[in-house]
Amino acid sequence: MTAGQRFREALAQNKPLQIVGTINAYQALQATKVGHKALYLSGAGVANASYGLPDLGMTNLEEVCIDVRRICAICPTPLIVDADTGFGHALNIGRCVIELIRNGAAGMHLEDQVGAKRCGHRPNKEIVETQEMCDRLHVALEARKIDPSFYLIARTDARAKEGLESAIERALSYAKTGVDAIFAEALQNLEEYHAFSQALSVPLLANITEFGLTPMFGLEELKSVGVAMVLYPLSAFRAMNKVALSVYADLKYKGTQKDQIPHMQTREELYEMLGYYGYEAQMDLLLGHQKS
């Protein structure tokens, strides 16, 4: 079964399907251990965590693929990837699809911002014309012929720039290209999600990111207005950052980390997550054979 097929199976079995952000392979293992059925690699996560850069379209395809490879090599849970605007012109978009498939991703989303993109919850976003976005999607759909199960999501950022009605019109045009789903960014109430889901014949994704324009709607609330997928792109990453900064501060100003111990994962918990003892047993067996 391909990664795309695994994702489609998860979507069919979970209504709505939660898609949780994982910035690295270890987080992917943690999310899978808890029982999540779909993972996400955020463009902001790659820029912030792997390169110390803001989410302003400053990373490239290969830099994203490095993290995709690391996650998909160790974790079978299907991974959806933030492909921003496709990392360039039409040929780059086609290459993006092919490379993500080759590196193990289950799917991706492509957005309608201009190349010099911004975070979807920041002001002053600029979006391309509807036809240009449809052209992007046609190229992506043509490229995914190497794996038709690869899940392709069209994201629109038009709600903030053009209003709800225009955003829905755009989404309908994008859906007609043959993409699998629509990602409506930065909606502000449940009524807006309901309007999208009622208009669309393809699944709708809601992005429930913290500290943005969209309220923290619960899973059941989103289900009630027809949302099929709920994305949490950087929730764990933000929590990790907060705790890590506190640890560094204690080391600097208290000279000890002892007050942070209750917030830390134990060595045994780490080993259990990694399957450490199994690896160690294999090493001992191999070394034993070599010595004998």
Whole-number Cα distances in Å, 72 to 17, 18, 50, 83, 279: 19, 18, 16, 16, 19
- Tokens representing 109? 């989303």
* Closest CA relative to residue 89, chosen from 17, 14, 140: 140
- Assigned token pair, 214: 């969209």
> Strand pairing partners for 154?
110, 182
pTM of the model: 0.94
Q: Residue 265 gets which letter from DSSP?
A: P
List the domain boundaries for the chain: 3-240
pLDDT in tens, the chain (292 residues): 999 999 999 999 999 999 999 999 999 999 999 999 999 999 999 999 999 999 888 999 999 999 999 999 999 999 999 999 999 998 999 999 999 999 999 999 999 987 567 676 666 678 899 999 999 999 999 999 999 999 999 999 999 889 999 999 999 999 999 999 999 999 999 999 999 999 999 999 999 999 999 999 999 999 999 999 999 999 999 999 999 999 999 999 999 999 999 999 999 999 999 999 999 999 888 887 666 5
Q: Is the peptide bond before 16 cis (omega within 30 degrees of 0)?
A: yes
DSSP string across 81-140: EE-TT-SSSHHHHHHHHHHHHHTT-SEEEEE-B-SS---TTSSS--B--HHHHHHHHHHH
Which residues carry out catalysis?
40, 55, 82, 84, 109, 111, 119, 155, 185, 207
Measured at the CA of 33, the angle between CA 6 and CA 247, to 5 degrees, comes to 130
Question: Which helix H or strand E contains 154, and what residues bound it?
Answer: strand 151-156
Amino acid 227: pLDDT: 98
Q: Which amino acid is at 271?
A: Y
Dihedral of CA 279/80/219/16: which sign?
A: negative
Q: What is the CATH number of domain 3-240?
A: 3.20.20.60
Contacts of 74 (CB under 8 A, 6+ apart): 25, 28, 29
